[in-house]
């Protein structure tokens, strides 16, 4: 029977519940257990797909096409377990499901209430896949006391009561602030947070306490006494140099042992942490540094490109170099020469995005990389802008652009068009510009066929790949011949040959654009091959300058 671990947060948000959950999952794996991680978000959006990156960071896409919270990226990177659509849910999705059932008459005319109908829907979601794994870790978004989170807290309380005794435990992550003027570490906010949690019927079994400095034994005992947990279950979560030290740090603190003790699993298998020892070694023994410019639209918020930043870190590990990523707002290049901003970088990466803002700057960044022989990696919109740049400056289509940016009264040759139909599995998917925005893109894992002898086929070591997509615009194949005559090769295609997946420039040190999002599948112990080779190329440049 699957055991359940519910992870809640208190005092303030952004303490690292997702990272703590992911690290715990990795530690349980290291002891030989199977795990799956889930995220329950209280916001009323059906999913994060239509949210601005400035609101909620990046949208993490699963193989089966779900647009989910970025914490699922942490879960995958730390455990290697591919997330599914059933691993992420929001209040919006829960209420939508309940209202659809009410309209169908599934409730047989009853009055629909938060308890039991909404909480039952949440419990049904939590129980999906029960019995598939040894441990199910469920993270509740937000903090205890948030009004929108109350149905989730009530649902996990009920779930714990309904399961056999000892089948569920609760882990609460809080903050221990350091008051510099008083020279004291304060436990009162955590005490009040636990009091709030217990008032709604949940008693935490484990406390994970974020702190800037080590927690003295006296404060640990005080927390154990007032929060009614065992002293060995008060776990310190200190700031780390890298998030990939989290599994080792939490193991030293005894988090995995505290969890096994709470479930009364004894004797417990000893952990094999060699994977994480190797990750740590690759980070601390880097033999050099490469500087990579990321020319994007959402550079003011690092979480907007979270998976790209992590994939570059993984690629640095593979090459035993430190990757120094510097974020540059693409809009700067709309009016300024990119050369002064990009000189000194060993490679340039242009990530995805939506809308016209900053696209001319991305085009100029692609031109700079192509003409200066600087390694270039274009992802999604970054690939499309590389094609637009080549169409304008190589194929002579001076008004080349994208239908996404078309304005009335402006001449435009749309080398990038709105995708209205594509093949998924054994059926055809059709979309219209008038459809709702949510969930209408080409989403999830699709296969691609690579040209024999191409750069990307050599990087992947195969000619058939599977990658995740999230886009509604595609490069128009009508311009393929004109572009290939000028050296821009379409080296990756959809199986039916209709949709371009990868472009590259053969007589360039490293110039690749991909329509998909390879960053979503990169892991510290299995860096994505495209990112690893991109950083290798940057490393070669760094040795020449």
pLDDT for residue 429: 67
φ/ψ (deg, to 5) at 319: -100, 5
* DSSP result, 504-519: EETTSSSEEEESS-GG
Binned at pLDDT 50, 70 and 90, residue 135 comes out as very high
Q: What is the pTM of this model?
A: 0.92
**According to the annotation, is 412 in a ligand binding site?**
no
**According to the annotation, is 382 in a ligand binding site?**
yes
Binned at pLDDT 50, 70 and 90, residue 435 comes out as low
Q: Name 471's bridge partners.
A: 442
How many C-beta atoms surround the C-beta of residue 233 within 10 A?
24
Find out whether 201 and 157 touch, Cβ atoms under 8 Å: yes
pLDDT for residue 433: 61
Length of the chain: 545
pLDDT in tens, 158-174: 999 999 999 999 999 99
Q: How far apart are CA 290 and CA 271, in angstroms?
A: 34
Q: Which of 280, 367, 519, 528 is catalytic?
A: 519
Q: Residue 99 above 70 pLDDT?
A: yes
Q: Is 380 a catalytic residue?
A: yes
How many C-beta atoms surround the C-beta of residue 55 within 10 A?
12
pLDDT in tens, 210-265: 998 899 999 999 999 999 999 999 999 999 999 999 999 999 999 999 999 999 99
Best CA proximity match to 23, nearest among 71, 91, 78, 69: 78
pLDDT in tens, 400-429: 889 888 665 567 888 998 887 657 666 666
Q: Which of 138, 209, 227, 380 is catalytic?
A: 380
5-24 mean pLDDT: 93
Q: Residue 438 above 70 pLDDT?
A: no
**According to the annotation, is 14 in a ligand binding site?**
yes
Q: How far apart are CA 120 and CA 159, in angstroms?
A: 9
**According to the annotation, is 55 in a ligand binding site?**
no
**According to the annotation, is 191 in a ligand binding site?**
yes
Compute the CA torsion angle 133, 137, 140, 141 (nearest 10 deg). Answer: -100
| Mean pLDDT of the residues in the chain | 92
pLDDT for residue 464: 97
**According to the annotation, is 51 in a ligand binding site?**
no
Q: Name 529's bridge partners.
A: none
How many C-beta atoms surround the C-beta of residue 365 within 10 A?
32
pLDDT for residue 129: 93
The residues, any chain, with a CB within 8 Å of residue 462's CB and separated by 6 or more, are 450
pLDDT for residue 206: 97
CA-angle at 94, arms to 92 and 99, nearest 5°: 90
pLDDT for residue 57: 81
Binned at pLDDT 50, 70 and 90, residue 348 comes out as very high
Q: Name 492's bridge partners.
A: 450, 502
Q: How far apart are CA 431 and CA 452, in angstroms?
A: 32
Q: In the chain, what percentage of residues exceed pLDDT 90?
A: 77
**According to the annotation, is 353 in a ligand binding site?**
yes
Q: How far is CA 301 from CA 164, 316, 339, in A?
A: 44, 22, 24
Q: How far apart are CA 533 and CA 59, in angstroms?
A: 25
SS3 443: strand
339-345 mean pLDDT: 91
**According to the annotation, is 472 in a ligand binding site?**
yes
**Beta strand 67-68 with 206-211: parallel, antiparallel or unpaired?**
unpaired
52-72 mean pLDDT: 87
CA-angle at 349, arms to 347 and 352, nearest 5°: 175
**According to the annotation, is 414 in a ligand binding site?**
no
Give the chain's domains with CATH numbers.
3-279 (3.40.50.300), 288-416+475-542 (3.40.50.880)
Host H or E run for residue 163: none
pLDDT in tens, 368-397: 999 999 999 999 999 999 999 999 999 989
pLDDT for residue 424: 67
318-333 mean pLDDT: 93
Q: Which of 117, 341, 517, 528 is catalytic?
A: 517
Q: How far apart are CA 55 and CA 58, in angstroms?
A: 9
The residues, any chain, with a CB within 8 Å of residue 423's CB and separated by 6 or more, are 429, 494, 495, 496, 498
293-318 mean pLDDT: 89
**According to the annotation, is 139 in a ligand binding site?**
yes
**According to the annotation, is 358 in a ligand binding site?**
no
Q: In the chain, what percentage of residues exceed pLDDT 70?
A: 95
Binned at pLDDT 50, 70 and 90, residue 432 comes out as low
**According to the annotation, is 523 in a ligand binding site?**
no
**According to the annotation, is 289 in a ligand binding site?**
no
Q: Is 280 a catalytic residue?
A: no
499-504 mean pLDDT: 96
Find out whether 515 and 475 touch, Cβ atoms under 8 Å: yes
Q: How far apart are CA 358 and CA 277, in angstroms?
A: 41
Per residue, the 3-state secondary structure of 28-64, as one string, reads HHHCCCCEEEEEEECCCCCCHHHCCHHHHCCCEECCC
Q: What share of the chain is helix, strand, coil (3-state, %, to 5)?
A: 40, 25, 35
**According to the annotation, is 19 in a ligand binding site?**
yes
pLDDT in tens, 262-289: 999 989 899 999 999 999 999 999 999 9
Measured in Å, how far apart are the chain's first and last C-alpha atoms? 59
């Amino acid at each position: 029977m699957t055991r359940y671990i519910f992870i809640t947060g208190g005092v303030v948000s952004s303490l690292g519940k997702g990272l703590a959950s992911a690290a715990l999952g990795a530690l349980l794996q290291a002891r030989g257990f199977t795990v799956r991680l889930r995220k329950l978000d209280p916001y009323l959006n059906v999913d994060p797909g239509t949210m601005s990156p400035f609101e909620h960071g990046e949208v993490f896409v699963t193989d089966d096409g779900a647009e989910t919270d970025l914490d699922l990226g942490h879960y995958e990177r730390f455990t290697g377990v591919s997330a599914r659509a059933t691993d992420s849910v929001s209040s919006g999705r829960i209420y939508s499901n309940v209202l659809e059932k009410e309209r169908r008459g599934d409730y047989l005319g009853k009055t629909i209430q938060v308890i039991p109908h909404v909480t039952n829907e949440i419990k049904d979601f939590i129980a999906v896949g029960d019995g598939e794994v040894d441990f199910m870790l469920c993270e509740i978004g937000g903090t205890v006391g948030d009004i929108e989170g109350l149905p989730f807290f009530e649902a996990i309380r009920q779930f714990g009561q309904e399961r056999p005794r000892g089948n569920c435990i609760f882990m609460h992550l809080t903050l221990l602030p350091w008051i510099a003027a008083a020279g004291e570490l304060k436990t009162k906010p955590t005490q009040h947070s636990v009091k709030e949690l217990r008032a709604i019927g949940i008693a935490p079994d484990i406390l994970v306490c974020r702190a800037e400095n080590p927690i003295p034994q006296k404060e640990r005992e005080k927390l154990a006494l007032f929060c009614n947990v065992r002293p060995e279950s008060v776990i310190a979560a200190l700031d780390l140099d890298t998030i990939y030290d989290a599994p080792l740090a939490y193991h030293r603190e005894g988090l995995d042992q505290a969890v096994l003790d709470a479930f009364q699993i004894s004797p417990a298998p000893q952990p094999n942490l060699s994977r994480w020892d190797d990750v740590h070694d690759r980070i601390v023994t880097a033999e050099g540094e490469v500087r990579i410019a990321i020319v994007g639209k959402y550079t003011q918020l690092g979480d907007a490109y979270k998976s790209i930043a992590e994939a570059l870190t993984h690629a640095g590990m593979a090459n035993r170099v430190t990757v120094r990523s510097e974020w540059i707002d693409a809009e700067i290049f709309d009016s300024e020469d990119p050369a002064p901003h990009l000189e000194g970088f060993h490679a340039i990466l242009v990530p995805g995005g939506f809308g016209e803002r900053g696209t001319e700057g991305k085009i100029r960044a692609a031109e700079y990389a192509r003409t200066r022989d600087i390694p270039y990696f274009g992802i999604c919109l970054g690939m499309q802008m590389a094609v637009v740049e080549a169409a304008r400056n190589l194929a002579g289509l001076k008004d080349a652009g994208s239908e996404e940016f078309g304005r009335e009264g402006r001449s435009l040759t749309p080398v990038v068009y709105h995708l209205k139909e594509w093949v998924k599995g054994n059926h055809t998917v059709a979309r219209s510009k008038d459809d709702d925005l949510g969930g209408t893109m080409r989403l999830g894992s699709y296969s691609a066929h690579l040209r024999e002898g191409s750069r990307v086929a050599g990087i992947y070591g195969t000619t058939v790949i599977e990658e995740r997509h999230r886009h509604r615009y595609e490069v128009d194949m009508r311009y393929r011949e004109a572009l290939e005559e000028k050296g821009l090769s379409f080296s990756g295609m959809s199986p039916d040959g209709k949709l371009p997946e990868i472009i590259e420039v053969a007589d360039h040190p490293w110039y690749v654009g991909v329509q998909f999002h390879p960053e979503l599948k990169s892991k510290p112990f299995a860096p994505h091959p495209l990112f690893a080779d991109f950083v290798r190329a940057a490393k070669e440049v760094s040795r020449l300058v």
